[in-house]
Structure 1
């Protein structure tokens, strides 16, 4: 099985329409504009790409599939998700039906990492993944937005069939450490499960690019979520800037390096060359225990709750 790189690249902000880049991020991106980003990432060894059927209702997968045609399947790794809310009630096997649609859009018969996107009808979907694992169409299975009890249940069901849960993908950042507090990071570490952290940069609020006088783009859902709390984040982002300046690193690189230091595999959304540069540079950035403690203390002091509307608390 392929080794995972230290960072995955996210494509939530690619494509358009429901849950797409235009609505969530205020972007308007297509395959042509994203090709230089994709090519640079592959050159730098960042070969794992994370998407989902629901991102732009398939348009994110379609763009990724268009770009992936130029690359050998031996180097590229594809991660996509079964979103229960999109499941067809008419399908005998709604997981297989959505999986096949994703494969068509991505231009691949095999998905390296396939996720159950959220715990709607918990564990209903796990049994449908078994034949796909047995046939080799799916190499690894993960769950996203699940709490510890839900993770254990899916893992147990997979183990009864001779497989095991490979990955967990939850919101995790300096501002939102619910999965750590709930013991999920410890469980993953003890059971050889890779914890993928998403929203590490909190949609740009922890990138150093935005502040009270330079807010996120109006008209996007991320502006509605974060602009009002940007003043509370300035002490934290200032400290991140100070730490980074001594290491020739950006604020975003410090946020990503923190997530790696905590034993997680960050998913970093990329729409510009600089995003790829930041992600690649962060893989070699070392933070001291004192620096980590300082950042975490300032994050608590910021008093900001960034739990998304789709998330429930991780304490089971």
Structure 2
């Protein structure tokens, strides 16, 4: 399968990666139930077999549990350093930039033997140091050979420019900005993030690209499933019977196109993301079952026409007004 370059880093990534928040170990206030390592191993093996070569996790996902679980799963699948791309994130909340250097050893240990190909600042707010100071600390980690590249997450267009300018002083490109992008959340088109990414050649990494299940059609087909989802997941993603009714026309359009391509609704929603915005946007859907990973990877095989992507964009705009 084709790969894309992560920003201007030269690091190859598959257009669809695998997000690792579901490997966090579960617990109160989380999106996901705990998954046994055997299930994590099966998910990762299926993802690899299906063409996914890029895996994203974070320090905040279970206080490092997701990182350790991911590394174990990759090793059991026979992967070695250099076979895959691995990204993680540093949490800024209530911390200074110095903690980036203090905690990088944990990131390296948790992900061993796999290197930190991309280290990201998890948010553009909540830190006790300026964005410039945080980015400088990340640049020092690149210079020290502890990470390969620097990215950010949940950064505004203005914050992206600040990070880009600071990294440029060290001769390092800003690789990516991980933000919410999906057919029900297209704010990058109006808040300057997409324009800035294209101007500076920064990859946008879409998280919750299926809006936590709303863009698979499964909840629309069986609204009773909403009540079975974790409360935190429902609250943070706006999953409700009212929103299912509001977004039904978009699901209907996705279903029509899916039937043409002999694909699932979710696959078409992912294919739209990595097609409509060109090479600028890639996606990291999660998977709590092996077949979820296989289905997500299948989106990379779907070629949508300009007419199909345009129709989906038009209906999407209608239902999100």
1:175-232 deviation line (CA, Å, top 9, x unaligned):
1111122232232223222111111100111111112633332443223331241111
Pick from 257, 272, 288: which aligns with 2:271? Answer: 257
TM superposition shift of 1:86: 6.1
Q: Distance in 1 between matches of 2:20 and 2:253?
A: 29
Three-state SS of the structure 1 residue aligned to 2:89 is: strand
Pick from 196, 218, 227: which aligns with 2:240? Answer: 227
Q: Is the 8 A contact 1:200 1:268 kept in 2?
A: yes
Q: Which residue is 1:274 aligned to?
A: 291
Q: Which residue is 1:75 aligned to?
A: 83
Q: Distance in 2 between matches of 1:218 and 1:37?
A: 21
Q: Which residue is 1:170 aligned to?
A: 179
Per the alignment, do residues 15 and 30 of structure 1 end up closer, same or farther by CA in structure 2, a change over 3 Å counting?
A: farther
Range that drifts further, 216-225 or 136-145: 216-225
Q: Distance in 2 between matches of 1:107 and 1:98?
A: 14
Range that drifts further, 295-304 or 163-172: 295-304
Q: Which residue is 1:126 aligned to?
A: 135
Flag structure 1 segments of 5+ consecutive residues without an equivalent. 305-316
Q: Is the 8 A contact 2:55 2:86 kept in 1?
A: yes
1:187-226, aligned counterparts within 5 Å? 187-211=196-220, 213-216=223-226, 217-224=228-235, 225-226=238-239
Q: Distance in 2 between matches of 1:253 and 1:63?
A: 26
Three-state SS of the structure 2 residue aligned to 1:80 is: strand
Query: Which consecutive aligned stretches of 4+ in structure 1 deviate over 6 angstroms post-superposition?
Result: none
Q: Distance in 2 between matches of 1:74 and 1:9?
A: 17
1:42-53, aligned counterparts within 5 Å? 42-53=48-59
Q: Distance in 1 between matches of 2:120 and 2:32?
A: 26
1:121-151 deviation line (CA, Å, top 9, x unaligned):
4333111112211122211111110111100
**Length, aligned pairs only:** 298
TM superposition shift of 1:265: 0.5
Normalising to structure 2: TM-score of the pair?
0.87
Q: Which residue is 1:295 aligned to?
A: 312
Pick from 103, 108, 111: which aligns with 2:116? Answer: 111
Q: Distance in 1 between matches of 2:211 and 2:305?
A: 22
Q: Distance in 2 between matches of 1:152 and 1:180?
A: 17
Three-state SS of the structure 2 residue aligned to 1:49 is: strand
Three-state SS of the structure 2 residue aligned to 1:256 is: helix
Whether 1:100 aligns to 2:105 is: yes
Three-state SS of the structure 2 residue aligned to 1:241 is: helix
Q: Distance in 2 between matches of 1:198 and 1:290?
A: 25
Q: What is the root-mean-square deviation in Å for CA atoms of aligned residues?
A: 2.0
Flag structure 2 segments of 5+ consecutive residues without an equivalent. 1-9
Q: Which has the higher helix share?
A: 2
Q: Which residue is 1:34 aligned to?
A: 40
Normalising to structure 1: TM-score of the pair?
0.88
Q: Distance in 2 between matches of 1:292 and 1:23?
A: 36
Q: Which residue is 1:308 aligned to?
A: none
